[in-house]
């Protein structure tokens, strides 16, 4: 088990229920949240540890992999594929009539599977037969990023810090030094590290958009290409605009006199204010469309529209003269 035991980080037993894990996470997250500990780097690091642990233990599939493979849970698919191949080789070792076929050595258990994966080996030879395993692609990584509506409108960038496996500098990723397992990476060929990347987020992203960064995922254990990194975007709600697809909706206050007699009002957009001409006798709730003032279409030059809904505002604290005039209007138009 990795020294950074996720169960120990959250302070729960290995058999803890989902409810117990969630309760422990909430308690620790409140305690170490950066907003509660401004400028405290130790608390910030602890908060990241807590989030990493909860991300794995709160996910049923990830937790099962972690329980089985510990700190190498992210490579569970590779391990299980290698184990499946080993099982096939065992079946091939005996012919239909009981005749034994030898594949160049003893086929071990999971330890040998780990060794083959981490040292880049994968072939079994002997008796004129050889089979070389195809290099496997590294795992994809996924992380969530949060952006403002303004950033989603204009495009932005984020510096991403990821916990990743890096080739061991002592054995140059081979897992061995002078035919002995490397003491630094314990024969794995990779060590835990932190990867920092600056990633551009294009204009027009919405909640759920996945930004792909090719080749920036986990490296391959067997000389194959690295996996990809995916940024899953979440756009924060905005205090002024409501986004529906690539259209923006906004409420515009219009004075009663302007709605009745006509005039102009200022309409907010994500690029600044625009002047909207309000025709006479505009009713409350009427919607005006400002073409091309919405969100960009992801990957395209076109933009959505801005839909401005009129909210007619009645005057307050009327003077005696204003009350008199409204009374005259009532008499003219009738009750």
pLDDT, tens digit (0-9, with 9 covering 90-100), for 44-74: 889 888 988 898 999 998 999 888 888 777 7
- 188-192, 236-240, 297-301, 316-320: the lowest-pLDDT one: 188-192
Q: Give how far the C-alpha of residue 58 lies from the chain's centroid of Cα atoms, to the nearest Å.
A: 16
pLDDT in tens, 172-212: 767 777 777 777 777 666 777 677 889 999 999 999 999 99
pLDDT of residue 165: 66
Q: Which candidate, 145, 147, 143, places its Cα nearest to that of 162?
A: 143
| Tokens representing residue 168 in the block | 């061991």
DSSP structural state of residue 75: G
Asked if residue 296 has pLDDT above 70, the reply is: yes
145 and 167, same domain (yes or no) = yes
Domain boundary pick from 103, 131, 159: 131
Q: Could you give the C-alpha distances from 290 to 151, 246, 247, in angstroms and in order?
A: 21, 13, 10
**Strands of 242-244's sheet in order across:** 242-244, 247-255, 306-313, 287-290
Domain that residue 121 falls in:
71-131
Flag the least confident range among 96-105, 168-177, 279-288: 96-105
Instruction: Please check whether residues 248 and 276 belong to one and the same domain.
Output: yes
**What's the CATH code of the domain at 284?**
2.60.260.20
Specify whether 152 is located in the same domain as 91: no
User: Is 80 exceeded by the pLDDT of residue 11?
Assistant: yes
Domain boundary among 168, 202, 236: 236
Whether residue 188 is found in the same domain as residue 126: no
Does 127 share its domain with 159?
no
Q: Are residues 279 and 222 in the same domain?
A: no
- Tell whether 87 is covered by a domain: yes
Same domain for 255 and 222: no
- How many domains does the chain fold into? 3
In tens, the pLDDT along 257-273 reads: 999 999 999 999 999 99
Specify whether 329 is located in the same domain as 272: yes
Say if residue 142 is in the same domain as residue 229. Answer: yes
In angstroms, the CA 329 to CA 335 distance is 10
Average pLDDT, the chain: 81
**Mean predicted confidence (pLDDT) in 312-331:** 93
62 domain-assigned: no
Considering the domain boundaries, does residue 92 fall inside one?
yes
Cα of first residue to Cα of last residue in the chain, in angstroms, is: 82
- For residue 113, pLDDT over 60 is answered with no
pLDDT, average across residues 82-108: 41
Q: Is there a single domain that holds both residue 227 and residue 248?
A: no
Domain membership flag for residue 193: yes
- Please enumerate in sequence order all residues whose Cβ is within 8 A of that of 278, keeping only pairs 6 or more positions apart, or say none: 254, 258, 259, 262, 263, 264, 265, 310
Do the domain assignments include residue 169? yes
Q: Which of 173, 205, 236 is the last residue of a domain?
A: 236
Structure tokens at 298: 């992801």
Report yes or no on whether pTM surpasses 0.75: no
Domain presence at residue 2: no
> Is 49 part of any domain?
no
Tens of pLDDT, residues 145-159: 999 999 999 999 999
Residues 175 and 198 in one domain: yes
319 and 266 both lie in a single domain: yes
What contacts 224, CB < 8 A, 6 or more positions away? 134, 135, 136, 137, 138
Within a domain: residue 161? yes
Does residue 325 have a pLDDT over 70? Answer: yes
Share of the chain above pLDDT 90, in %: 45
């Amino acid at each position: 088990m990795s020294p950074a035991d996720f169960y120990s980080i959250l302070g729960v037993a290995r058999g803890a229920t989902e409810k117990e894990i969630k309760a422990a996470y909430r308690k620790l997250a409140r305690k170490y949240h950066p907003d509660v500990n401004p400028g405290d780097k130790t608390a910030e690091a602890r908060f990241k540890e807590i989030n990493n642990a909860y991300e794995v233990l709160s996910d049923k599939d990830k937790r099962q992999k972690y329980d089985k493979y510990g700190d190498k849970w992210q490579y569970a698919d590779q391990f299980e594929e290698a184990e499946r191949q080993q099982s096939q080789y065992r079946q091939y070792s005996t012919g239909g009539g009981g005749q034994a076929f030898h594949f160049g050595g003893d086929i071990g258990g999971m330890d040998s599977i780990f060794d083959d994966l981490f040292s880049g080996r994968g072939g079994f030879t002997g008796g004129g037969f050889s089979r070389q395993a195809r290099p496997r692609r590294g795992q994809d990584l996924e992380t969530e990023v949060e952006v403002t509506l303004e950033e989603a409108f204009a495009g932005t960038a984020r510096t991403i810090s990821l916990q990743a496996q890096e080739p061991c500098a002592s054995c140059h990723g081979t897992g061995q030094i002078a035919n002995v397992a490397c003491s630094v990476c314990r024969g794995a060929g990779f060590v835990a590290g932190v990867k920092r990347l600056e990633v551009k987020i294009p204009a027009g992203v919405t909640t759920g958009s996945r930004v792909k960064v090719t080749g920036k995922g986990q490296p391959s254990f067997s000389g194959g290409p690295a996996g990809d990194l995916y940024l899953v975007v979440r756009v924060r709600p905005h205090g002024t605009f409501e986004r529906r697809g690539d259209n923006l909706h906004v409420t515009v206050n219009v004075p009663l006199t302007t709605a009745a007699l006509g005039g102009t009002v200022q309409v907010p957009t994500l690029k600044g204010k625009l002047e909207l001409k309000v025709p006479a006798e505009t009713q409350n709730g009427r919607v005006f469309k400002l073409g091309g003032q919405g969100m960009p279409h992801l990957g395209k030059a076109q933009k959505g529209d801005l839909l401005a809904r009129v909210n007619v505002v009645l005057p307050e604290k009327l003077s005696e003269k204003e009350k008199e005039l409204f009374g005259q209007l009532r008499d003219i138009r009738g009750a």
